[in-house]
Amino acid sequence: MRKSFSLKNLLGMTFILLTVFAANPIGFQSGPFQAQPAHAGFFDDDLDVFDEVLDLVAGNYVYPPDFKKLFTAATDAMLKTVEKEELAVTSVHTGKTLETNGKKFSYQLSFNKDENMKALQGVYDFISREFKGKVSKKDLEKAGIDGLMDSLDPYSLYMDKEEFEASMRDTEGEYGGVGMVITLVDNQLTVVRVIKNSPSDRAGILPNDIITRVDKQEIKGMQIHELAAKLRGYPNTQVNIDVFRPSTKVTQLTTLTREIISIETVQYKYLGDQTGYIRISSFSKKTDDQLEAAFEKAEKDGVQALVLDLRDNPGGLLSQSVKVASHFLEEGQLVVYTQGRDRHDTQQYESVYDDRWRKKPLAVLINGHSASASEIVSGSLKDAGKALILGERSYGKGSVQTIFRMSDSSGLRLTTSKYYTPSGIDITVNGIAPEIQIERDISGLPSDNAPSAKSKTTKPPVIKPIIVKESEVQDFLKKRGETVKGDTDLLVAFAKMTINNPPQPTKGHALAKARELAKDMHHY
């Protein structure tokens, strides 16, 4: 029986930079997201927005503020707005001395918020006065804000008015752009996936292609949101990108015409043998509706077992992840909970449906680019014993961002809490570990290749995963007389064998069958 869905203050999305779906997933939830205007008093209206941002960080950030760290990052960013040749910066004890054209200003920072604010005000006044006409007050203030935010975490971000409006508009499931899923790999803008029938698809752009320049500008060193802003634009406008293809070592200039991209986040396919395949590419406003349409097709096909593919899914709306997980859980069962800075700052999100699909065998596929909302779904189903998890350890993005609208209509996305699976697993620290790990020895890509695997220390799984190589699955299928083509998805094939023929009644039975299959494959 379907239950009406209502979750207070629930808008958890991945900041997928919806000109390009950036696969460095970032979720947010909204409160009323209207910050109260700050009253800086003696600042004479200068640095009002900075003061607002600082107050929000001090009061709402998931970790207690380190004011010395925050102000060091902010003042250093302000100093970078001036050419090194024009401003001499000397470190003196615990502070710095600025000098230009015989004029000097010295300051030092402490762990006291008010003292540091006065020091930053002095830096701001000195630079804006001595470099008048070269550096605007607006740019100087924004540099300070960006520096402060960069000192927090990769997902907290300040957006000017235009960026904020674009990010809010993008949550509706349509955007004006070029239609590709991207991520930063070793500081290279790498294509993860191309949206079907999009400008990028028609231009022949492929996964693993690397974008090196946008409109003749080198993009090395830019943040992902800056790159997205360059690709985003009005429909029917053009953007020129230089695309390097590692497989051929060739760079090609490609012109793309932006258009409205309609996001179909759910794809369904019947695999035969009463097994259905559903892929969810992201969690947008329309995902659950599209999933229910896929379920209708599956019912017509007589599906008794499902493969749910969340690979390369960067996340999306928290509300949609709760709905998706609910189809496979009992009503009222815990899906995920959040924990903020204060131990009492917790919130639980429970299953809202009582759906027939919870009784059918389910395999969930994840990889190193499965993040945020996709980790909520896979983590909840794993903990509940409702699904077998196959693939690779997920990305590890379990932080919650709250959106605040500033007094000047700019916006702040701030990490305010963290996601935990029902069993208490910290998603950011550990990601979601598969129970069946597939080693990619055919595709040429290393297993566990997500950025999180390189930069985070993850706890080993409590139960050692079953490990199967792609080549073993391929040989096993061939020896069974099945046709294996170049586009055969070996992980999907293994998942199908694990949960079906016949449909396995429980996750324990599916795991036992997976061990039996792996043993047989190892012997070939």
| Per-position DSSP letters for 425-489, written without gaps between them | -BHHHH----SEEEE-SSSS--TT-SHHHHH---PPPSSPPEEEEHHHHHHHHHHTT----TT--
> 174-262: which CATH topology?
Pdz3 Domain (2.30.42)
Specify the pairing of strand 466-469 against strand 436-439: parallel
> Per mean pLDDT, which range of 44-53, 209-218, 333-342, 344-353 is the poorest?
44-53
User: How many residues are given for the chain?
Assistant: 524
Q: Give the pLDDT band of residue 29 (cuts 50, 70, 90).
A: very low
The average confidence (pLDDT) of the chain is 85
Burial 440-450 (b: 16+ CB within 10 A, else e): beeeeeebbbb
> Per mean pLDDT, which range of 65-69, 451-455, 478-482 is the poorest?
451-455
Task: Write the CB contacts of 84 (distance below 8 Å, at least 6 apart in sequence).
Answer: none
Predicted local distance difference test score (pLDDT) of residue 13: 30
pLDDT tens for 294-340 read 999 999 999 999 999 999 999 988 999 999 999 999 999 999 999 99
Under a CB-based contact definition with an 8 Å cutoff, are residues 275 and 495 in contact?
no
The per-residue DSSP string of 81-138 comes to: TS-TTT-EEEEETTEEEEEETTEEEEEE--S-HHHHHHHHHHHHHHHHHHTTTTS-HH
Q: What is the mean pLDDT of residues 440-450?
A: 62
DSSP state of 384: T
Query: Which residues are part of the catalytic machinery?
Result: 372, 383, 397
The residue ranges of every structural domain in the chain are 174-262, 266-523
Tell whether the model's pLDDT for residue 163 goes beyond 90. no
Predicted local distance difference test score (pLDDT) of residue 278: 98
The rounded distance, in Å, linking the Cα atoms of 333 and 378 is: 14
Predicted local distance difference test score (pLDDT) of residue 173: 52
Q: What is the mean pLDDT of residues 449-454?
A: 42
Q: What is the mean pLDDT of residues 214-220?
A: 89
Whole-model pTM: value is 0.73
Q: What is the mean pLDDT of residues 176-180?
A: 87
Virtual torsion, Cα 3, 8, 14, 15, nearest 10 deg: 140
Choice between 431 and 448, residue whose per-residue pLDDT is larger: 431
Predicted local distance difference test score (pLDDT) of residue 277: 98
The per-residue DSSP string of 313-328 comes to: ---B-HHHHHHHHHTT
Predicted local distance difference test score (pLDDT) of residue 32: 31
Predicted local distance difference test score (pLDDT) of residue 37: 38
CATH 1.10.760.10 at 266-523, yes or no = no
pLDDT tens for 379-391 read 999 999 999 999 9
Choose among 364, 250, 226, 241: nearest CA to 307: 364
Q: Give the pLDDT band of residue 461 (cuts 50, 70, 90).
A: low
Tell whether the model's pLDDT for residue 7 goes beyond 70. no
Q: What is the mean pLDDT of residues 399-421?
A: 93
